[in-house]
Amino acid sequence: MSDLLIRIAHFSDTHISSFGNFLEKYFDKTADAINRLDPAPDIVIHSGDLTDNGVLEDYEFAIEKLKSINGRLVLAPGNHDERNYGQELFKEMLGNLDREEHIGRLAVYIMNSPEPDRDEGRLGRRRQAFLEEKLSQLPKDIIKVIVFHHHLVPIPYAGRETNVLEDAGDILETVLRNSVSFVFMGHRHVSRVLRINQSILINAATTSSIRTRGRLGHSFNIVDIYSDNRINVIEYNTSLDKTFLKESFDMTQIV
Ligand SMILES: [Fe+2]
Ligand SMILES: [Fe+2]
């Protein structure tokens, strides 16, 4: 019998705003679903586009909405959060754009992939060197997690692919070389899970933007890590009120 050791909830692209693209009903459904998870998640990850326009009214509304979610929340900034000089509000109200958090056995590196007023994203050599240094020094029993907004590999159902992380090749190399267990991303509004060697790349769909794709709807992810190194990624679709076992992986060296 294997035990559930760690549970991660992952949501993204909430696009909170009073000015148009935010569907509050789906945010509230998501908050309620996360709060009802049993066992509760050890960490709740938001992978960017918290707000729709990056303006003060959006951030104030977002802070209010985030209060309805229980648990240890970590947020990465998205390109929408850095529109209209929003990166300064993010820093002031939510903390540094790049951050390192240690939560139980998880070492979480939150990286700022957007640049102000651009849709494209990159981590750049400075962040890559920082990650290489940090990741290579972690003890073996620590689970390595990276969070950023832009996607590291192309995502299906996205039409003509744009905005893959500009330095995706270099960052993917860092991820694989250091056996990073999880990379959490957003941006494309499509839920996607991909395993490469000992790394699992996870994109969340949009939580509450009107910009869903086809019939994919709104959803968030639950990642369960078991004592026998099995990883289950569950998609909780709030449009259908259903959960799906999206992927199940038997890893060799997660825990
Ligand atoms: Fe988005
Ligand atoms: Fe985005």
How far is it, in rounded angstroms, from Cα 42 to Cα 46?
14
Residue 249 to residue 201: CA distance in whole angstroms: 12
Q: How far, in Å, CA of 126 to CA of 148, rounded?
A: 15
Residue 132's domain comprises 4-250
Identify whether 31 is part of a domain.
Answer: yes
| Centre of ligand 2 from the C-alpha of residue 78, in Å | 5
CB 146 within 8 A of CB 103: no
Among 55, 34, 6, 92, residue whose Cα is nearest residue 219? 34
Mean pLDDT of 129-137: 97
Ligand nearest to the CA of 51: 1
Q: How far is CA 72 from the centre of its chain?
A: 14
Instruction: Please tell me the predicted confidence (pLDDT) of residue 103.
Output: 96
- Centre of ligand 1 to C-alpha 51, Å, is 9
pLDDT at 255 over 80: no
Would residue 173 count as lying in a domain? yes
Closest CA to 131 of 167, 86, 105: 167
In this prediction, residue 161 carries a pLDDT of 82
CA of 144 to the centre of ligand 2 (A): 24
- Please indicate, yes or no, if residue 255 is contained in any of the structural domains: no
Q: Return the ligand number nearest the Cα of 11.
A: 1
CA of 149 to the centre of ligand 1 (A): 9
Lowest mean pLDDT: which of 96-100, 140-144, 155-159, 222-226? 155-159
Phi, psi of 150, rounded to the nearest 5 degrees: -75, 155
Q: What is the reported pLDDT for 1?
A: 67
Is the separation of the CB atoms in 66 and 81 below 8 Å?
A: no
Percent of the chain having pLDDT more than 70?
A: 98
Q: What is the pLDDT of residue 254?
A: 66
For ligand 1, the distance from its centroid to the CA atom of residue 150, given in whole angstroms, is 9
Confidence of residue 41 (pLDDT cuts 50, 70, 90): very high
Q: Which two tokens stand for residue 136?
A: 């290579």
* Ligand 2 center to 102 CA (angstroms): 26
- Tell me the CA–centroid distance for residue 158 and ligand 1, in Å: 12
Q: What is the mean pLDDT of residues 184-200?
A: 97
* Predicted TM-score of the model (pTM): 0.97
- Whether residue 220 is contained in a domain is answered as yes
Residue 188 in domain: yes
Question: How much distance in Å is there from the Cα of 7 to the middle of ligand 2?
Answer: 25
Into how many domains does the chain fold?
A: 1
Query: Would the pLDDT of 133 be above 90?
Result: yes
CA of 254 to the centre of ligand 1 (A): 30
Domain contains 160: yes
Q: What is the CATH number of the domain that holds 112?
A: 3.60.21.10
Greater confidence (255 vs 250) lies with 250
Q: From ligand 1's centre to the CA of 155, what distance in Å?
A: 14
Q: Distance from the CA of 3 to the center of ligand 1, in angstroms? A: 35
The rounded distance, in Å, linking the Cα atoms of 170 and 200 is: 17
Q: How does pLDDT run across 152-187, given as a tens digit for each residue?
A: 999 998 778 888 999 999 999 999 999 999 999 999
96 within a domain of the structure (yes/no):
yes
Q: Please check whether residue 79 lies inside any domain of the structure.
A: yes
